[in-house]
Amino acid sequence: MENSEYLKKGLTDAEISERIKNGRINGEQESHTKSIKQIVTENIFTFFNLINIILGFLVFLTGSYKNCLFLGVIFFNILIGIFQEIRAKKVVDKLSLVSAPKAVVLRGGTEKEINTAEIVIDDLMLLSAGRQICSDCIVAEGECEVNESLITGESDPVLKKTGDEMMSGSFIVSGSVKARVHRVGADNFASKITAGAKYLKKNNSVMLKALDTIIKVIAVCIIPIAIGLFVNSIVISEQPTDRAIVSTAAALIGMIPEGLYLLTSVVMAVATIRLASHKTLAQDMYCIETLARVDTLCLDKTGTITEGIMQVEGTELLEKNFPLDSALTAFVSVMNDDNPTFNAVKARWGNGLSIPEAKLSLKKTIPFSSARKWSGAEFEKGSFVFGAPEFVLKEDYETVRKICEKAQQEGMRVLIAAYSQNCFEESALPQGLKAAALIFIGDIIRKEAPSTLGFFDRQGVEIKIISGDNPVTVSKIAHKAGVKNAEATVDASTLSDEDIPEAAKKYTVFGRVSPDQKLLLVKALKSQGKTVGMTGDGVNDVLALKEADCSIAMQSGSDAARSVSNLVLLDSNFASMPLVVAEGRRSVNNLQRSGTLFLTKTVYSFILAFIFMFLPIPYPFQPIQLTLISTLSIGTPSFLLALQSNTDIIKGGFIRNILRTSMPQGIATAVSVIISVTICEFFGLTTEAMSTVTTYAVGIISFFTVIRVLNPVRPWKIGMLAALMAAFAGAALIMPNMFGLYPLDLSGFGIMVLTAAIGIETSLVISKVTDRLLDFILKIFRQIRKPFRSIKKKILNIFGK
């Protein structure tokens, strides 16, 4: 295939069309976002929406059209949810498109830059230094060195000549080649590894699990309660059928926290959009929450705590009076090597200048080779060699061993400059080689790394450094960057699979780690109850990234790593992580605060619905009244509070944190309503008056709940509360008939004030024993859930998972 015509022009249009027709093309990457159809469908067809629509239809049949207004709120909620999710999708898709890799190919004699998805079998790729190999290929012409660290974890470049295979996910370090693609799509090496990570990962969002639990409880209870309330209204309370339907609907509507799911989606969508403006791509909205909960973070050395480039740390002359500066300046001016160590030397002695005399007297250059471990230049006056001391000096290495090992223990790479009066023997070292000087090169630690690592340390997040490099070197670099307990180091190549769990507890820095060991380390940490976050950029990181609770990839890394990660740092800057954590905390803490308002209504609605199944008294609310209360004391403040700044450390479980405030408030509201109804019944107030009294009382208590979640108090929050209370009063005064409210006499007004005060005082009293009460309730819930889990496990064992 590699004939001269092919090497000059590549594939023809006809050959490309034939391969595309036969499916021999890379193909499009999987979309990481939902389709618009999925977003619309998931927002409309929910369990809660179905119940609300049925209730609305039944109320509509009674002719009480104003009590159908709650459907408008549901409709509005659906629109907001769809709008925010589509907006977030567009942001994510746009960033994904920007971050999509490109390939340069030769087609019809013309160089073209195409998407990697358009590569076909036998395409002739043009690869030069810095380019990532997008598809498995064979070198057709030229010679280059390839960095396979993203695949193997080994950082040393590998020499590739004509006929050698190069694997997707690697990078060209030096040289340039034409390479024929011989595998595409799922057959690529990187794709095969990625395929091992293409399993459905269970969502580990604590918030979603909490919401699912709430839905399950409501789903189990809502139908029997609906039947009980309706029967009670008809048989015991002797209400007309129309009134029974309306009051039953009111009870059920109050039990459904319809806005909480919407609020969660909106807040996470807004967080996704905010992070996008800071060059961070969240491929899964809820990963932002997970990262905020991470307590163990696994990091690679390169690209996270170091910049991935090196610098000269110092020199030591081995031959007195040797003109090291002028020699290296001349050497750099004639060499074209492109690898981290040479670039560090070039940065120190190149200065963008060239030495004409050196070029004029140049006779020969030998580029760096990973096999030789040195490079050289031959001038008229002699030869100059630069490389690894043990490969350049060979048996004479013992003369500098101690110096080299000491520097290596400090985390530096040691290179030697040597010269000879003799010529190179083809590509072999010249005779009479003399050591001139040692050059010490070290990784450049990111300026922001110490502060970023310090941030996680202050937040109680344990850092684990996992690298394929020498453990001593990694440990020293980690220590310089400020990693706590960096001296706790182990060479992972000495560990068996059985040793990994104990090592995960004991050590901070892991060197010489294989891809399989990375996966085992993540699994071990998770089995120890840790919430694990992991950064990675290579194909060798894919399985571990997929296993981690929250995975973070660098944009500069491999396609495979980016495709399985929850977050992609588009500027490949680890310093963005505190910002992501802060965004997660803002979302979770504010949702917990706002969720309190929704769950308060659910708690008191549950209690009242259950009690009124057995009382010979009509249920006191109409749907329109609960709509008024929900809109002004729950919906509006919850959305405003959910978007404020909040970077407090997340503590405790989501449900427990919400119930700590919502349970006392819910119980107190229920007590207030029961007392209100009892007093009204005792004094013989009409059903309409009783409904008005309870609506006002619950409204006052609900605004008290808002006050309790306002901390820290800000002027805008006080203004918001005042505006909402004014709107509530305005609705009662201006449109009382609309909301089923009637004028109260002195006794009715007195009952309203009394019951509202009792409700507020009751909530304060119950708050003092909330923790013990919660423990008791959650314990009962777990006991009830045990047999159901046991039955579920048996069914799964019978039919298979």
338 is catalytic: no
Residues 709, 641: contact at Cβ < 8 Å?
A: yes
Q: How many residues does the chain have?
A: 801
Q: Using an 8 Å Cβ cutoff, are 279 and 570 in contact? A: yes
What is the DSSP track for 63-84? T-GGGGTHHHHHHHHHHHHHHH
- Rounded to whole angstroms, the Cα distance separating 43 from 264 reads 12
Six-digit token pair at 274?
Answer: 């905010």
654 torsion bin: left (phi>0), alpha (psi -120 to 50), beta (else): alpha
Beta strands in 525-576 (DSSP E): 532-536, 550-554, 567-569
Q: 662: exposed, middle or buried (C-beta count within 10 Å: 0-12, 13-18, 19+)?
A: buried
Residue 557 to residues 241, 300, 514, 560, 577: CA-CA distances in angstroms? 67, 12, 18, 8, 17
CB half-sphere exposure, 309, CA atoms < 13 A: 10
The candidate with the shortest Cα–Cα distance to 560, out of 284, 169, 287, 188, is: 169
What whole-number distance in Å separates Cα of residue 236 and Cα of residue 434?
A: 108
Closest by Cα among 298, 304, 289 to 580: 289
**441 touches 313 (CB < 8 A):** yes
DSSP state of 447: T
CB 429 within 8 A of CB 373: no
Query: Cβ of 232: how many Cβ atoms within 10 Å?
Result: 22
From residue 419, how far is each of 332, 368, 384, 490 by CA, in Å? 15, 16, 4, 38
What angle (nearest 5°) sits at the alpha carbon of residue 713, between those of residues 708 and 717? 90
278: left (phi over 0), alpha (psi -120 to 50) or beta: alpha
Buried b (16+ CB within 10 A) or exposed e, 356-373: eebeeebeebbbbbbebe
Helical (H) or strand (E) element with 732: helix 715-734
Task: Give the active site residue among 136, 284, 300, 469.
Answer: 300
Let me know: does 9 contact 108? Beta carbons within 8 Å: yes
User: For the range 389-398, what are the long-range contacts, defined as Cβ-Cβ under 8 Å and sequence gap of 24 or more?
Assistant: 389/414, 389/415, 389/416, 389/435, 389/438, 392/416, 392/418, 392/429, 392/433, 392/435, 393/418, 393/433, 393/435, 396/435
β-sheet bridge partners, residue 128: 176
In which residue are the tokens 């899964």 written?
284
CA atoms within 13 A on the CB side of 417: 25
| Helix or strand holding residue 382 (H, E) | strand 382-387
Return the structure tokens found at 20: 């595309």
Note every long-range contact of 724-731, with CB atoms under 8 Å and residues 24 or more positions apart, other chains counting: 724/632, 724/633, 724/636, 724/637, 725/632, 727/632, 728/628, 728/632, 728/633, 728/699, 728/703, 731/628, 731/632
User: Could you tell me how far CA 171 lies from the centroid of its own chain?
Assistant: 26
Residue labelled with tokens 């403040």: 637
Q: Which residues are catalytic?
A: 300
